[in-house]
Amino acid sequence: MSAPEISVLPARRDDLAAIMALERAGFPAEEQWSERSWQGELLGERRTVLIARAHHPVGVITLQTTDRSADLHRLVVAEQHRRRGIATALIRAGLLAVSHHGARSVLLEVAYDNEAAIATYQRFGFEQLAARENYYGPGRHALILKFWDLPRWAESQLAAESGDGREELE
């Protein structure tokens, strides 16, 4: 299937019900965030919460910027919309947003057996920093990934959007 036409925009408080539906469908019960946790993301300082829509919400990402670093807290895409570039669009938009807030690097945790997510993050340039045993519960380990040079990446992305960034003067 081809990728649906999606838009990635800042989430609003009235997106909470849609975000909770994505959360419940995207994670096992023991890993789901509560409505209160998501409300904290939507209302928290220095938070970036973006929602992807293709006629209706199909994915969400949340990051927090602290000083010169950001943490990617959560990313979920509706199962029937996975493998269509939505996670990539959300990650790209999230990285650009936190770079505008001064972040120079980004950290995240991902389940060590979530090969699709790990591959997606690695395509952006995330590298494994460490591992956390039992992070998601007994026997469910996480990898800590880090994106090191966000300013350089953001500059290259913006240059690509405007051509090659080296327009000739006449």
Per-domain boundaries in the chain? 7-157
Q: Which CATH class is domain 7-157?
A: alpha beta
| CA–CA distance, 58 with 53 (Å, rounded to integer) | 6
pLDDT in tens, the chain (170 residues): 445 588 999 999 999 999 999 999 988 888 899 999 999 999 999 999 999 998 889 999 999 999 899 999 999 998 888 888 899 999 999 999 999 999 999 999 999 999 999 999 999 999 999 999 988 888 889 999 999 999 999 999 888 877 654 443 33
- Strands annotated E in 11-68: 47-53, 57-66
